Amino acid sequence: MKKTVAFALCMYAIVITHLNAQTKDSVSQLLHLSIESLMNIPIYSASKTSESTFEAPLSSSVVTRDQIKRAGCTSIMEALRLVPGVIVREQTNGNYDIHIRGLDNIPPNSNLIFFTSSTTLVMIDNYPVYNYLHGGTFWETLPIDLNDVEKIEVVRGPSAALYGPNAVSGVINIITRKPDKEGLYSVANALAGSYNSIIANASVGYKRTDKISAVISGNFQNRNRTGSDYYDPFTGKYTSLDSVTAVKLNPQGVANVNQRYPHPDLAMRKYAVNGFINYSAAPKIHFSAALGAQHSLVQKEFATDSYSPALTTAKSDTWYGSIKGDINDCMIQLSYLNGTQSPLLGASIWRWNYNTLDAVVEYKISPIKNLSLTPGIMYRRAVYDDSKYVNTAIKEGLWSGKAESVTKAVSLRADYKLFNQKLRVVGGGRADMFNYPDKTYYSYQLAATYKFNDRNLIRVVHSKANRTPLIIDLFSNLDITGPLNASQTYLLEVRGNKNIKLLTSGMFEAGYRMQVTDNLQFDLELFTTTTRNFSYTIFESGAFNATGPVGFSGLLDLNNIAVYTKQWGGTLEANYVAGSWQIRPFVTLQKTMLYDYSPYANSPQAPPIPADNNNPAMYNIYSGIGTKIKHRATPACYGGAYINWKACSRLNVNLNPWFYSNQTQLESSNLTYKDGQRGVENIKGKLMMNAAVLYTIKNKFTLTLTCRNCFNNKSREFYRADAPALMVFGGVNVEL
Amino acid sequence: MKSYRPYKYRDRYKWLTGKLYKTGMLLFCITCSFTSRQQKDKASEYNMKAAFIYNFTKYIEWKPSLDENEFTIGVIGPSPINDPLGEIVKTATVDSKKITIKRFSKPADISFCHILFISRNSGFPLEDILAKTNGKGMLIISEQDGYAGLGTAINFVIVNSKLKFEANTKAINAAGLTASSQLLKLAIIVK
């Protein structure tokens, strides 16, 4: 025993002496270095790297290029699994459904298009890449890839007043990389892995003094599906494409099936090229410009028609340009996006050209010390045009013509620091005026932080935000016809609603950040939100005609439904850095309740049909008023961890587990079959383990071995999607 | 049998206490080493800051001071920079002058020093500190976001895990000091 004690004490003395010696040595060594050299030495300190997030007034998280690389993420979407409060479900290899704090699958028992997140604002360098058609984001059409990313910032909670409309459940802002050293640099990385997955990125940048820099980058991804079957909603089984009932019914035969599914095994193939230029004319005058184009072909879930299973092929070709100027305290940003989209390839009505123009001018003034005011004006125009691809005379297209949504807005942001900067108040107000609906919407955000001392900060946020008007809600203009019986046809007119009320969410949030030691930080946020004015396709009226050629004609429109949601939840994140270890676990617990929900999608005036129990006056969109049910599509518990070990200067090992609890997604066929099987996806809770090992050779070459879903957990993450599989990637990263 | 049982129990007991003791020792050593590592991590940031501060002395034209044999660096508020500064004092000099460290616990105590480092933990209003130091030829260095804009001459910031510094030329000049263009070229200039 004595020997053991003596040995332990000796070891302890050696370790301590060694460490102290190291500390002294490093100070004296540093004294011999010039400032330039000192500026290039990385420092390790949890308190400092997270200082900006420590003081952030909103619930926000940042994931950096370095963390994404160490975690072995293979795409931007996957990297969002490193962020607290974000639910990322895989649909097919490389395609994901992404929600901030849920609000997914509302209303339940809806068509697939209502599953998609339509409440998160996604931006690249502050210009929106949001899709005005239905409010979601076509993630595969992002022109940039991991090589271009400097960091991804995520803000949770309604933030329209500070970031613009659509930031209803939050904001995802992807900041691109700028050259950080003078001269020429090039970065290339390639990953190859399971299911014929190939991901290649390359960029070349040049920085000439601090004044001018330019980057050209390109990216390519090919990923095959992890399975080959498709879901057949009629039989409730997964089967080969040719055996799916809807596919067999296709009147245009095999030719159209081949058009719709040109590559049944393919999950994603996309490529893009981008150029970025930054110019600093003077210390406070900066200009930047970006230009790029992308092509993508994926199989994912977006919407279905009569002849497709849940998975469909989506094709997009887009290009964009963006310029930004910061001239003293004035910021001007102009961005333009143009493209063609076919989210149900081979179905002519699901094809259109679109373009969006965004212009923002902001001017920062500081009338008194510690107060800054930023008034701004914004103009946005989104045009969706399907007239080239459909017969508009017979209203064949979804909106059969040119649909234009215009938003003009004024905004004011204020940032005021009081009491020796201990109290910080950040406020924003915004008025959005649309061409349709003809009503001004106000959103606001008020956040306050109080820093008791350097290690303890409390904050509160109160905000309200609305979604932008959606093209589908405003402009739907489609006539659906078909045979009713041997001699008659039916006609269903689907119309938009220019007076629709916009989805609006209000939030109250309180947070506490604590820096326990220089190595350990906790961040807790508690939130409650109320969201109203969801929209859905409503059966308004209809009439049978026993004599005419049209035996039944009915009217459907896009309208608000009675349901509203309340969420209560909290996210806790801890960040611990010690020596060569970083451990950052995070978890969100939340509850979502639906009030006044009715499964019936018809008005009281609609004609009786079996779907409304043949009594529309009793079973309609209002028949749920007064009810309260638990919403099961959002997991009650989800989170993950970033565990990193820098084993030595060359070797890095990372584990990034991700988990969620059980969920149930309900699709509209649940109401048709009511068998608890069809239209119901019971998503099992799971823990997914991801791991990555990086080995650096000569500071320029890094070899990567990354494993996603290490335990090969095959439980499905999204309604009738592909089952995920174990993926192993090997790759190389070169920085010259 | 009688003698066997107590022996067995005693043996078990000894084995258990031994195990507990060893575990305790191990935990003690791990904790101590860990605390020491934490200190080391903390020092690395402040080693850098101390090295920067020492480097700054070479790029500033100092005003003549009362004591021509001493170069003083003041620190207000508790800070981990004290240790590395203490190390520097032992060996380094500025223009062949000995370096001394002054520690101030509140703004009222501040007396002349060539450089005053405001610790993040000082907790005093910046105005109070600047009121005590204005126009006295003191180079005020801080380490909090936005402080350079509020009137400190140099403010440390961390960009991409690297230590950089903001320089407020107005504040430097108002103190009666001149910073070399070489230094300003490396700084993030704040109005």
**DSSP-derived secondary structure letter, A329:** T
Nearest to A38 among B29, B34, B55 (CB): B55
Interface check B131 vs A, CB under 8 A: no
Nearest to B22 among A4, A20, A454 (CB): A4
Tell me if B11 is assigned to some domain. no
Answer yes or no: is pLDDT of A9 > 60.
no
Q: What is the mean pLDDT of residues A649-655?
A: 90
Interface check B42 vs A, CB under 8 A: yes
Residue to substitute from B21, B28, B29, interface A, most A β-carbons within 10 A: B29
The contacts of residue B24 (CB under 8 Å, 6+ apart) are: none
Tell me if B95 is assigned to some domain. yes
User: CA–CA separation, A49 vs A52, rounded Å?
Assistant: 7
Answer yes or no: is pLDDT of B31 > 60.
no
| Residue at token pair 């009688």 | B2
Nearest to A578 among B37, B145, B164 (CB): B37
Instruction: Spell out which residues of chain B touch residue A19, defining contact as CB-CB under 8 Å.
Output: 33, 36-37, 40
**DSSP-derived secondary structure letter, A501:** P
Q: What is the pLDDT of residue B37?
A: 37
Q: What is the mean pLDDT of residues A87-97?
A: 95
Q: What percent of chain A lies above the pLDDT cut of 70?
A: 94
In Å, how far is A418's CA from the nearest CA of chain B? 11
Query: pLDDT confidence of B123, banded at 50, 70, 90?
Result: confident
Structure tokens at A251: 């009147």
| Residue at token pair 């962020």 | A83
User: What integer best gives the mean pLDDT of chain B?
Assistant: 77
Taking CA–CA distances from B30, the nearest residue in chain A reads: A12
Nearest to A27 among B41, B50, B121 (CB): B50
pLDDT, tens digit, for every residue of A60-69? 888 888 899 9
Query: How many Cβ pairs within 8 Å bridge chains A and B?
Result: 132
Q: What percent of chain B lies above the pLDDT cut of 70?
A: 74
Structure tokens at B135: 């126009």
Q: What is the mean pLDDT of residues A436-458?
A: 89
Tell me if B112 is assigned to some domain. yes
The contacts of residue A508 (CB under 8 Å, 6+ apart) are: A460, A461, A462, A527, A528
Identify whether the C-beta of residue A342 lies closer than 8 Å to the C-beta of residue A351: yes
User: What secondary structure does DSSP assign to A181-242, as a single string?
Assistant: SSEEEEEEEEEEETTTEEEEEEEEEEEETTTEEEEEEEEEEEEE-S---EEETTTTEEE-GG
User: CA–CA separation, A566 vs A568, rounded Å?
Assistant: 7
Nearest to A28 among B28, B91, B124 (CB): B91
Q: What is the pLDDT of residue A360?
A: 93
Residues A408, A430, A440, CA angle at the centre, nearest 5°? 55
Tell me if B20 is assigned to some domain. no
Nearest to B40 among A23, A42, A43 (CB): A23
Asked if B26 and A8 come within 8 Å (Cβ–Cβ), the reply is yes
Structure tokens at A519: 């190595």
Residue type, position A210, single letter: D
Instruction: Spell out which residues of chain B touch residue A5, defining contact as CB-CB under 8 Å.
Output: 25
**Within its chain, how far is the Cα of A397 from the centroid?**
28
User: What secondary structure does DSSP assign to A630-689, as a single string?
Assistant: E--SS-SEEEEEEEEEE-SSSEEEEE--EEE--EEEEBTHHHHH-SSSTTEEEEPPEEE-
Nearest to A35 among B32, B52, B126 (CB): B52
Tell me if B17 is assigned to some domain. no
Other CB atoms within 10 Å distance of the CB of residue B132: 19
User: What secondary structure does DSSP assign to A65-88, as a single string?
Assistant: HHHHHHHT--SHHHHGGGSTTEEE
Q: Which has the closest alpha carbon to A733: A73, A206, A38, A147?
A: A147
CATH number of the domain enclosing B129: 3.40.50.2300
Asked if A33 and B51 come within 8 Å (Cβ–Cβ), the reply is yes
**Within its chain, how far is the Cα of A604 from the centroid?**
37
Identify whether the C-beta of residue A296 lies closer than 8 Å to the C-beta of residue A268: yes
Return the higher-pLDDT residue of B162 and B60: B60
Q: What is the pLDDT of residue B67?
A: 66
Identify whether the C-beta of residue B168 lies closer than 8 Å to the C-beta of residue B148: yes
Nearest to B37 among A26, A35, A579 (CB): A579
Instruction: Spell out which residues of chain B touch residue A453, defining contact as CB-CB under 8 Å.
Output: 121, 123
User: What integer best gives the mean pLDDT of chain A?
Assistant: 89
User: What secondary structure does DSSP assign to A232-269, as a single string?
Assistant: ETTTTEEE-GGG-HHHHT-TTHHHHHHHH-S-TTEEEE
* Most confident stretch, A328-342, B27-41, B131-145, B169-183: A328-342
Answer yes or no: is pLDDT of A48 > 80.
no
Taking CA–CA distances from B26, the nearest residue in chain A reads: A8
Range of the domain at B53: 45-190
pLDDT, tens digit, for every residue of A571-625? 999 988 777 888 999 999 999 999 999 999 999 989 888 888 889 999 999 999 9
> What dihedral angle (degrees, nearest 10) is formed by the CA atoms of A294, A298, A301, A307?
120
Taking CA–CA distances from A4, the nearest residue in chain B reads: B22
Torsion-angle region of A596 (φ positive above 0: left; ψ -120 to 50: alpha; else: beta) = left
User: What secondary structure does DSSP assign to A514-549, as a single string?
Assistant: EEEETTEEEEEEEEEEEEE--EEEEEEEEEE-SSSS
Return the higher-pLDDT residue of A370 and A686: A686
Q: What is the pLDDT of residue B39?
A: 38
pLDDT, tens digit, for every residue of B67-81? 667 899 999 988 888
Asked if B88 and A31 come within 8 Å (Cβ–Cβ), the reply is yes
Asked if A39 and B186 come within 8 Å (Cβ–Cβ), the reply is yes
Q: What is the pLDDT of residue A364?
A: 87
pLDDT, tens digit, for every residue of A490-544? 999 999 999 999 999 999 999 999 988 767 889 999 999 999 999 999 999 998 8
Integer angstrom CA distances of residue A340 from A156, A188, A335, A337: 31, 29, 17, 10
User: What secondary structure does DSSP assign to chain B, as a single string?
Assistant: -TTHHHHHHHHHHHHHHHHHHHHHHHHHHHHHHHHHHHHHHHHHHHHHHHHHHHHHGGGEEPPP-S-TTEEEEEEES--TTHHHHHHHHHH-EETTEEEEEEEESSGGG----SEEEE-TT--S-HHHHHHHHTTTT-EEEE-STTTTTTT-SEEEEEETTEEEEEEEHHHHHHTT-EE-HHHHHHSEEE-
pLDDT, tens digit, for every residue of A181-228? 678 889 999 999 999 999 999 999 998 876 889 999 999 999 999 999
Asked if B36 and A578 come within 8 Å (Cβ–Cβ), the reply is no
Tell me if B39 is assigned to some domain. no
Which range among A48-57, A286-295, A724-733 shows the weakest confidence by mean pLDDT? A48-57
Taking CA–CA distances from A578, the nearest residue in chain B reads: B38
Q: Which has the closest alpha carbon to A236: A679, A691, A731, A640?
A: A679
Interface check B146 vs A, CB under 8 A: yes
In Å, how far is B177's CA from the nearest CA of chain A? 19
Tell me if B21 is assigned to some domain. no
Q: Which helix (H) or strand (E) holds A31?
A: helix A2-31
Asked if B40 and A19 come within 8 Å (Cβ–Cβ), the reply is yes
Which range among A325-334, A395-404, B26-35, B132-141 shows the weakest confidence by mean pLDDT? B26-35
Does a cis peptide bond (omega within 30 degrees of 0) precede residue A437? Answer: yes
Tell me if B79 is assigned to some domain. yes
**DSSP-derived secondary structure letter, A16:** H
Other CB atoms within 10 Å distance of the CB of residue A122: 23
Answer yes or no: is pLDDT of B166 > 80.
yes
Answer yes or no: is pLDDT of A733 > 60.
yes
The residues with which A407 forms a beta bridge, in sequence order, are A380, A434
Instruction: Spell out which residues of chain B touch residue A283, defining contact as CB-CB under 8 Å.
Output: 189
Q: What is the pLDDT of residue A235?
A: 87
Give the number of domains in chain B.
Answer: 1
Burial class (CB in 10 A: 0-12, 13-18, 19+), A213: buried
Q: What does pTM read for this prediction?
A: 0.77
Identify whether the C-beta of residue A640 lies closer than 8 Å to the C-beta of residue A677: no
The residues with which A701 forms a beta bridge, in sequence order, are A697, A734
In Å, how far is B8's CA from the nearest CA of chain A? 19
Q: Is the ipTM of this complex over 0.95?
A: no
Answer yes or no: is pLDDT of A130 > 90.
no
Residues A602, A605, A611, CA angle at the centre, nearest 5°? 35
Q: What is the mean pLDDT of residues A437-455?
A: 89
Interface check B149 vs A, CB under 8 A: no
Identify whether the C-beta of residue A79 lies closer than 8 Å to the C-beta of residue A63: yes
Instruction: Spell out which residues of chain A touch residue B186, defining contact as CB-CB under 8 Å.
Output: 35-36, 39
Return the higher-pLDDT residue of A17 and B164: B164
**H, E, C per residue of A128-187:** ECCCCCCCCCCHHHCCCCHHHEEEEEEEECCCHHHHCCCCCCEEEEEEECCCCCCEEEEE
User: CA–CA separation, A579 vs A582, rounded Å?
Assistant: 8
Query: pLDDT confidence of A706, banded at 50, 70, 90?
Result: very high
Instruction: Spell out which residues of chain B touch residue A209, defining contact as CB-CB under 8 Å.
Output: none
The contacts of residue A358 (CB under 8 Å, 6+ apart) are: A127, A128, A333, A334, A335, A336, A378, A379, A380
Instruction: Spell out which residues of chain B touch residue A27, defining contact as CB-CB under 8 Å.
Output: 43, 47, 50-51, 84, 87-88
Q: What is the pLDDT of residue B22?
A: 55
